[in-house]
Chains A and B, each alone.
Chain A
Amino acid sequence: MILNTINKSDISSTSLLACLATMTNEDALLLLEDGVYAAQSASVLPSMIPAGVTLHVLQEDLAARGISDRISPDFIRVDYREFVSLALQCDKIVSWN
């Protein structure tokens, strides 16, 4: 399992598209920093993700941006501690930036 992390808004960065094209259904995606904007219910992102990919979003970064209440239910909220656990469970991490 590969953990893909994204820290840029999906509107300003094309890395997310490259990331989506390379994920398999066993992989995990974690949005953090400005990447968390893509977890909003209004975002087109959730519809573009391969089925089976587990979706995570860093709750501290949601809170900092005031969008904790706007997140798609497809995402699992994680804190920094859970981020570390997730990273340890994965074979490798690809930090798209």
Chain B
Amino acid sequence: MTSKKFLFVSTRAPWQQGHAAACADALMTHAVFEQETWLFLTGDGVLQLLDKQDGSAIGQKTMAKLFPALEVYGVREVLVDMESLESRGLVEADLMMKVTIAGKDRMKALIHECDQVLVF
């Protein structure tokens, strides 16, 4: 199968209108079909990686549990925007897993490098 490079940019908080879940679904689908994928969390999207999320409290599945599995699915890299973290008073230790903390320059480079960019 021909492989393309896909960048997923997730910009919403975890429970906002299902955007984050839709992004995760699309990302995993692309990865499973052996496409090269990257996930960049920016803006409120960085909140998706906060540790201790419990969806059962609001009758939902805890989508955040998917994140540690992304590597198994073949997602190349999960990146988090540094400025977005800082502006929300967060540090790397607040996140549930090891990710790449990056600046907008890295996002810019990925946008140019990837064949398709999907923003959620």
Residues of A within 8 A of B (CB): 2, 14-15, 17-18, 21-24, 92, 94-97
Contact = CB atoms under 8 A, between A and B. Distances in A.
A18 B11 contact: yes
Interface stretch (B53-61, B92-100, B110-118): B110-118
B43 A15 contact: yes
Contacts of A95: 119
A96 B11 CA distance: 9
A87 B29 CA distance: 26
Main secondary structure of the interface of A (DSSP, over half): mixed
Interface of B: 9, 11, 42-44, 81, 104, 107-108, 111-112, 115-117, 119-120
Given A2-B111, A14-B43, A92-B115, A22 B11 contact: no
A15 B43 CA distance: 7
A31 to B, nearest CB: 15
